[in-house]
Amino acid sequence: MIARPPRRRPPVPHRRAGPRADSRDPADPLPGYTGTGRLADRRALVVGGVTEGGPGAAVAAALAKEGAAAVAVADRAPGGHREAGAVPAAGAGDGPLADLARVLASLGAWALPIHCDPRAERDVRAAAAHTLLEFGAVDVVVVCESPPAPPAGPAPAPRAAVWDSLLSGGLRLVRGVRGLLGEGASAVVLAEPGPARPAGAEAGAGTAITVNGGVRAAAAPLAAALRRRGVRLTGLLAGRRDSDAEVAAAVVRLAAGAARTGDVLDVAQVLGAPA
């Protein structure tokens, strides 16, 4: 299933959604976001953060509103059904991915929903390959990393440890798709600890620097390899007080080149930097 936009048109700033003619249409996950064409004509892949909740839908909508020509969204099939490998959703269908694809098409982007395991390197590589085959390039890849629900009983891990684990997992997935990213592409690893997401006010620059040091050291070889290919790699830390709209806006800035490759920043740092 490829959701097609109603007509081809140059990217324009998105206005707040008004009443819909068909009440069955899925709602825009980012109704107040206004795009400025920062990612005009890019082809993007968003991995995770959709089926089980998270900022993936908002991120995908922001990419479309910023002028992305095509957005593929890859996550588990509804109900947690595990298909073999990465499989584009067939038919119109229902469920979070199909609903999101229709939203993206209504925003003017070609959309491809893909069922896969967002934590399996093989599946994510296959999802990137599907995106490449359908749209001709992968200019932006966003990996939304969030942990499973924490078990009852033990105290949660320190926030820096949680973020470090999530970023490391996302880096592994980016490493698997690096051969499919062309010159000028951007890869953003979003660490979003879900219900255990640390409060934004408690997760300022100090935490970002703590995580940054360890992850940057681990990511240095990958960042260097991607830099030689002209690909930017950045990490983003989401806090509990960061709304999905703020997270999506920060992802857009990083995808557009607002930070040095290899940097790991929290949402406030990205949004507070000069555009």
Q: Output the pLDDT for position 8.
A: 44
The 3-state secondary structure of 79-142 reads HHCCCCCCEECCCCCCCHHHHHHHHHHHCCCEEEEEECCCCCHHHHHHHHHHHHHHHCCCCEEE
pTM: 0.81
pLDDT of residue 230: 86
Sites in the chain below the pLDDT cut of 50 = 7-23, 151-153, 155, 196-211
Q: Which residues pair with 114 in a beta bridge?
A: 74, 88
Structure tokens at 105: 């098409």
Per-residue pLDDT of 87-138, as tens digits, reads 777 655 668 999 999 999 999 999 999 999 999 999 999 999 999 999 999 9
Please name the residues in contact with 13: beta carbons below 8 A apart, sequence gap of 6 or more: 34, 35, 36, 37
- The tokens describing 57, both together, are 């839908």
Domain assignments of the chain as residue spans, ordered by start: 43-272
pLDDT of residue 225: 78
Q: CATH number for the 43-272 domain, one of 1.10.287.70, 3.30.1540.10, 3.40.50.720, 3.40.50.1950? A: 3.40.50.720
211 DSSP 8-state letter: H
Which pLDDT value is given to residue 206?
A: 44
207-218 pLDDT tens trace: 444 445 555 555
Q: Which residue has the tokens 């030689």?
A: 228
Report the pLDDT value the prediction gives residue 83, as an integer from 0 to 100: 56
| Residue 201 to residue 205: CA distance in whole angstroms | 10
The residue with tokens 């324009």 is 12
**Token representation of residue 96:** 């979070």
Distance CA 159, CA 227 (A): 29
